[in-house]
Amino acid sequence: MTIVKKSILLILLIIILDQALKIWVKTHMALSQEHPILGNWFIIHFIENNGMAFGMEIAGKFGKIILSLFRIAAVIGIGWYLLHLIKHKASTGFIFTISIILAGALGNIIDSAFYGMIFSESNDYPPVIADMFPVEGGYSSFLHGQVVDMFYFPVLKGTFPDWIPFRGGDDFIFFRPVFNIADSSITVGVTLILIFQKRFFKK
């Protein structure tokens, strides 16, 4: 199998896993509903956001459009760079790493671009589970969909000591952000580049 086919297969595998889990969560869970997997350390916790990684947001419809257009531009740039690497016979590890990042970026773009049109709205109170392809139409328009997140790892909970400025006495949770497979793919890809940069960038 050629490196091109392997790269495409890797991208498709990540996107399929990402979308399959998101669709299951969206059609089986109400917003903010939880399913503990490993006690209180690993929880499937359904949230939606306008969509940077790990639940961060840019407020408003204008911010949403800007973010969606930025994502599309980033995917085009990453895709071009991946083709450049393949053409110039870069290391297999680096090609796969960029493929992982591209797959993650594509996974979240699918949510932003299409979920508003193909799903009804989810709600937490009263609990409402979304329908896929509802007769009355989706909850939003093209590029205004919400990104589905579900992985929550509140591994460590506690209270900041009183002597810490500004935060003393406040409760904390580590790790607080909720994320998805696409976010994880981007994070893993960037981490691999940092770890193996000397191998990837020999020139």
158-194, pLDDT tens digit by residue? 777 777 777 777 777 767 889 999 999 999 999 999 9
Confidence of residue 85 (pLDDT cuts 50, 70, 90): very high
pLDDT for position 69: 84
pLDDT for position 57: 54
pLDDT at 37 over 60: yes
Confidence of residue 135 (pLDDT cuts 50, 70, 90): very high
122 contacts: CB under 8 Å, gap ≥ 6: 26, 29, 30, 31, 46, 48, 128, 129, 130
Q: Are strands 156-159 and 147-152 parallel, antiparallel or unpaired?
A: unpaired
> What six digits make up the tokens of 128?
């409402």
Whether 183 is catalytic is yes
CA distance 120 to 189: 33
pLDDT for position 100: 97
* For range 128-155, the mean pLDDT: 93
* For range 38-65, the mean pLDDT: 73
Of residues 18, 111, 124, 149, which has the active-site annotation?
149
**What are 100-115's pLDDT values in tens digits?**
999 999 999 999 999 9
pLDDT for position 80: 97
Confidence of residue 61 (pLDDT cuts 50, 70, 90): low
Average pLDDT of the chain to the nearest whole number: 89
CA distance 189 to 39: 29
More reliable by pLDDT, 57 or 45:
45
Strand order in the sheet with 147-152: 34-38, 42-49, 147-152, 178-179
pLDDT for position 54: 47
Whether 171 is catalytic is no
